[in-house]
Structure 1
């Protein structure tokens, strides 16, 4: 059975989830419409929560005994068919219903289709309404004496508080022989503290309907806190324990290290993970941004390394972003543990020598039995800015691959039917930036898709965009901004950007002015300057036995362009 405490944890979890359902217009609409579909009448989440809160242990056991206990079950096992075996899978013969002939349901016999009459012409696309100005949240700033920077905004729509503590450093502070140490340390931060075991903390968080978690990647470690407003004190007490008093037990370390190695093994089956990991490796080389975490590097890490790395956690290189149902004064009164957090000097490198790419090459990773090829390519680009080359490049990229109206999407999906999506992007930070393009395509179309991608690159950088594409881009940017700061997570991202790049709210006006004044000639010039099809690193994750020879035979296309790319195989 289960205890009353177990039931209370489930109910609190449902309360927290129900609040998240009301975070955005989309989630509200989805919730209301689903109630309508299910014939439940007017949507009333408060009544629904009350209904669940009235459920007792006796109710649950009654339903379990009636519908689940000792009931027969259907177990469905799905396995991919090997492309190298012609013979049918022997598992098929074990299905007792494999040869069952299904008869037509009598209730559908003799039915005819009655076409509905429309009051409007569906062939005419409705005109979009004028975009409304986005409501940018007001915010406050604070800096503690220990160096911790704080930014926050109060929003009382939902009775929850969301917090993100960012600690700069991440993999930038790790020796290349111990790649993966930042991530392993973050995982250990979610384990036992000097007072409580990880199990005790987990149970307490479930009771509160809260979460306190750590993660690390790239140049940072992040602690994320989410809590019901009424439980914020208890949640912050747990956050204090985790941040300032980790136990770093040997047993926890042994288990977490084992889980990390198992996770790495599972990641080898993820084409997107492999693709982006090895693209970063080609673009950033042996710098911390390009290093690949391996089993060898993880096995080398000792508990003493984790303890030593933890000493890099300091308020002097940290920032806290707070969003939700809490005002400035109340927040500051509840985070004395952060005010008293001991500061230390941490030197974080900021300049790196990235390798130069002088020719476009293919890097092929074999994924045995893959039914499609994951293609990701790119080259280095500008560092982050809000009103310079990076921002203007993002505007330029939109008609090419910024969404479902982009040329890549329309060509590879709508026209050719080789993929579910094809996109390009500019991504940047304080230290680096890249331009990239990505798509998962049918295995048999891998070489053809590559040709079409470079055709689009060539057309875009030589002929340029149309006036129609330019206007659509402007409308999309302006219209998309309306919901840019809607959810708590979006507000967290916006405020984090303000703090990270030392911006003021006026940067949005600068961006709007650039967007409104940019011309076709500007976009064409930016495309020529910022997209370099002749200096791309192309990573393809797929079945090499089915695609390698086609890629080797990829010499030229009807447009006269040469595609004689060197192919390099990568073992992982």
Structure 2
């Protein structure tokens, strides 16, 4: 009989094997990265485009262009595009983040020829119909109006603007920005950004020669128009610890955001700082959760994270707490940071965090698509697979005294930007 009062034994993860992306090149020079695994016949193809020509006067160009790229071509309406994709059991999505925009399709390999013909038309012949644009603008303004009533949304945008100012990373979109958006802006950006010289392709799943031949057929030939573009490049100085309070007298909860510009994945300290962050607030058993949720009962959840961007990175702590305990929560956050700066983490706690981090890493590698996502993390940062070797080695070998030094260097509460939206 199993004695369920005794926790099962556990062992640290010994090996983590990544399926590495194999490089290839289409006839017109587009780089392709292949993560080949699985026998289910499913393929994911991501066409990735750098965001370019950031202009504070036209802050919505890249986002709106990507959002509306599937709204119609010169021969296909949005309905027809969706109908054709659905007919073959495929799925088409467009995604935007600060650094890149992408068009991604999931399809069975046996239908890929038909599906890619639609995708090719979308990324080379999108027309951004005026009627659809007006609908998009109306919907986005309404969404913004709703979000501005949410304390956590206001805290996040206030925090990002404090760190990154009026740049792509920190610009606060207003309804008036949507009012100024024109179809001509989208067409202009589309022809600049969605072109072969600004494109990379990541294909994962069951990838055989027929898949690569189809990629070459649709994207490697008869698609060679190239215009000069300026890839977005930003640099930021670490800001001093300013405080921002946006009062909302009716608030039941206050939203908190604390942090500063920090390092990104390309910095050699990043893996070690991830360990420190996990201890502080990076998982459910973290110190912030134990103190502010479990002990004080101020919140349902609090967490911290390191965010890696192409041109910067930042560290933040976020939570929504009872409106009457916002100031007390800030005091507890400061206390937890100071403990990390003055007391060594115990071997017992560090061992738990190491096992959690390695197990979470291993658990995130479910299929070819997740292996492709791991490749994107390093590719966007200009790194290679050695990064993951360093990450695993750091998690396994890091010592309490190293964490103490990192906390003293990277976590100075007085220099952190602090945002409270609601009540103090």
Give the superposition deviation at 1:174: 3.0
Indicate conservation of the 8 Å contact 1:375/1:539, yes or no. yes
Q: Are residues 1:349 and 2:232 paired?
A: yes
> In the alignment, which of 339, 343, 349 is matched to residue 220 of structure 2?
339
1:409 paired residue number: 289
Relative to its length, the structure with more strand (as a share) is 2
Alpha-carbon deviation of 1:379? 0.4
Q: C-alpha displacement at 1:248, in angstroms?
A: 2.2
Structure 2 equivalent of residue 322 of structure 1: 203
- Native 8 Å contact 2:205 2:369 kept in 1: no
Pair 1:376-2:257 in alignment: yes
Aligned to 1:31: none
Out of 95, 118, 121, the residue aligned to residue 241 of structure 1 is 121
Structure 2, unmatched stretches of 5+, are none
Structure 1: where are the runs of 5+ without partners? 1-117, 552-572
Instruction: Label 1:361 to 1:469 Cα distance change in 2 as closer, same or farther (>3 A).
Output: same
- Native 8 Å contact 1:184 1:257 kept in 2: no
1-structure distance, mates of 2:327, 2:254: 10
Q: 1:502 to 1:383 in 2, by over 3 A?
A: closer
Q: Which of 479, 495, 500 lines up with 2:359 in the alignment? A: 479
Q: Secondary structure at 1:136's aligned position in 2?
A: coil
- Partners of 1:166 and 1:319 within 8 A in 2: yes
Could you tell me how far apart the structure 2 residues matched to 1:441 and 1:230 are? Answer: 52
Runs of 4+ in 1 over 6 A off after TM superposition: none
Contact 1:384 1:428 survives alignment (8 Å): yes
**Equivalent position to 1:168, from 39, 50, 65:** 50
1:225 alignment partner, one of 105, 122, 127: 105
Corresponding position of 1:133? 15
In structure 2, what is the Cα distance between the partners aligned to 1:196 and 1:157? 33
SS at match of 1:377: strand
Q: How does 1:100-139 map to 2 (within 5 A)?
A: 120=3, 122=5, 124-139=6-21
CA contact (8 A) 2:271 2:394 kept: no
Structure 1 equivalent of residue 379 of structure 2: 499
- Residue 489 (structure 1) shift: 4.0
Alignment: residue pair count: 420
Conserved 8 A contact 2:44-2:203? yes
The alpha carbon displacement at 1:130 in A equals: 4.2
Residue 245 of structure 1 deviates from its aligned partner by 0.8
Q: Which has the larger radius of gyration?
A: 1
CA contact (8 A) 1:132 1:482 kept: no
Question: Displacement of 1:189 after TM fit?
Answer: 0.4
Q: Tell me the secondary structure at the aligned position of residue 348 of structure 2.
A: helix
Which residue is 2:175 aligned to? 295
Structure 1, 489-498 or 397-406: larger mean CA deviation = 489-498
Higher relative contact order (CA 8 A, sep 6+): 2
Match of 1:205 among 73, 79, 85: 85
CA drift of 1:456 comes to 0.8
Per-residue deviation, residues 515-567 of structure 1 (Å, max 9, x unmatched): 3332111110011101121112222233xxxx2xxx3xxxxxxxxxxxxxxxx
The two structures have a TM-score, normalised by structure 1, of 0.69
TM-score scaled to structure 2, two decimals? 0.92
Q: Tell me if structure 2 keeps the 8 A contact 1:191–1:252.
A: yes
Partner residue of 2:298 out of 418, 421, 425: 418
CA RMSD, Structure 1 to Structure 2 (Å) = 2.2
CA distance in 1, matches of 2:378, 2:97: 20
Per-residue deviation, 1:145: 5.2
Return the offset for 1:438.
1.0
What is the CA-CA distance between 1:163 and the residue it aligns to?
1.9
